């Protein structure tokens, strides 16, 4: 294998608690299948579709419009799928950023590796999530799906990131994400992947080993 020259990071679920865990907890709290709630609110996350949340992450609709459409999908399925209620329920779980991952990203960049953030995110949260970590210090390149109008797992967003890094081949990159489908999409391009779980220990160990 070619030596790693660049490390690509996801944001939610890597630097902060995963919103997927929050959706599962919310589903359990309202007596609905956690998997069903996940699909209603976030769509089929293994794909890039016209689900309202996917369109929101591509910057095609507003949060208000996406919320209304998702609530209607839930109503048709007999489930209270209001994203705002889901996010409110997450306040009872872990919050804030993971210091261990922030420090590891800082160390990676200080050792001379190229770094990039590749996040599925939304316009309305752009200012708030950037305040949670020292983004400009940690990442040479920041690719926000709502700004570039493409989202993971579409391979186009990874190709775009490589173009911004300039001169780094896919085979020289490592990518950390908490969604298996996003890791798999990156791996199909030749990027080495690390799946991040709520306990960061395994992911941090894998990162160290691959570097």
Average pLDDT over residues 3-31: 88
For 6-16+96-210, CATH number?
3.40.50.1000
Residue 77, token pair as written in the block: 């399925």
For the chain, the average pLDDT equals 93
Burial class (CB in 10 A: 0-12, 13-18, 19+), 148: middle
**pLDDT single digits (tens) 39-56:** 999 999 899 999 999 999
CA 24, CA 35: separation in Å to the nearest integer? 7
Average pLDDT over residues 129-158: 96
- In this predicted structure, the answer to whether residue 149 has a pLDDT above a threshold of 60 is yes
What pLDDT, on a 0 to 100 scale, did the predictor assign at position 91? 65
What pLDDT, on a 0 to 100 scale, did the predictor assign at position 103? 96
Average pLDDT over residues 68-72: 97
**Measured between alpha carbons, how far apart are the two ends of the chain, in Å?**
12
Average pLDDT over residues 175-190: 97
Q: Residue 148's closest CA among 167, 132, 164, 137?
A: 164
What pLDDT, on a 0 to 100 scale, did the predictor assign at position 95? 61
CA 195, CA 148: separation in Å to the nearest integer? 24
Assign 17 a pLDDT band (cuts: 50, 70, 90). Answer: confident
Residue 71, token pair as written in the block: 């609530």
CA 1, CA 63: separation in Å to the nearest integer? 42
- In this predicted structure, the answer to whether residue 93 has a pLDDT above a threshold of 80 is no
Domain extents in the chain: 6-16+96-210, 19-92
Average pLDDT over residues 128-144: 95
Q: Three-class SS of residue 124?
A: helix
| Residue 87: φ, ψ to 5° | -65, -35
Half-sphere exposure of 196 (CA within 13 A, CB side): 25
Average pLDDT over residues 105-134: 96
Question: Could you tell me which residues are beta bridge partners of residue 177?
Answer: 195
What pLDDT, on a 0 to 100 scale, did the predictor assign at position 92? 62
- In this predicted structure, the answer to whether residue 89 has a pLDDT above a threshold of 90 is no
CA 78, CA 194: separation in Å to the nearest integer? 36
Q: 205 and 195 in contact (C-beta within 8 Å)?
A: no
Q: Residue 179's closest CA among 18, 55, 67?
A: 18
Q: 156 and 162 in contact (C-beta within 8 Å)?
A: no
How many CB atoms sit inside 10 A of residue 202's CB? 12
Average pLDDT over residues 172-195: 97
CA 184, CA 79: separation in Å to the nearest integer? 30
The four Cα atoms 162, 163, 165, 168 give a dihedral, to 10 degrees, of 60
pTM (predicted TM-score): 0.93
């Amino acid at each position: 294998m070619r030596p790693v020259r660049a490390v690509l990071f996801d944001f939610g679920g890597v630097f902060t608690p995963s919103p997927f865990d929050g959706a599962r907890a919310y589903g359990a709290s309202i007596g609905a299948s956690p998997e069903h709630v996940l699909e209603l609110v976030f769509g089929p996350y293994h794909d890039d579709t016209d689900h309202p949340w996917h369109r929101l992450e591509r910057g095609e609709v507003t949060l208000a419009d996406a919320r209304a459409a998702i609530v209607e999908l839930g109503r048709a399925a007999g489930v209270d799928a209001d994203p705002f209620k889901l996010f409110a329920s997450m306040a009872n779980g872990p919050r804030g950023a993971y210091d261990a991952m922030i420090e590891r990203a800082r160390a990676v960049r200080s050792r001379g590796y190229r770094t990039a953030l590749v996040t599925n995110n939304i316009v309305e949260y752009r200012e708030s999530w950037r305040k949670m970590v020292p983004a400009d210090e940690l990442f040479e390149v920041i690719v926000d799906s709502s700004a570039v109008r493409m989202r993971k797992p579409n391979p186009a967003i990874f190709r775009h990131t490589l173009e911004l890094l300039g001169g780094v081949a896919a085979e020289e990159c490592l990518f950390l994400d908490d969604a298996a489908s996003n890791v798999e999409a990156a791996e199909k391009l030749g990027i080495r992947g690390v799946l991040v779980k709520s306990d960061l220990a395994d992911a941090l160990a894998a990162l160290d080993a691959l570097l």
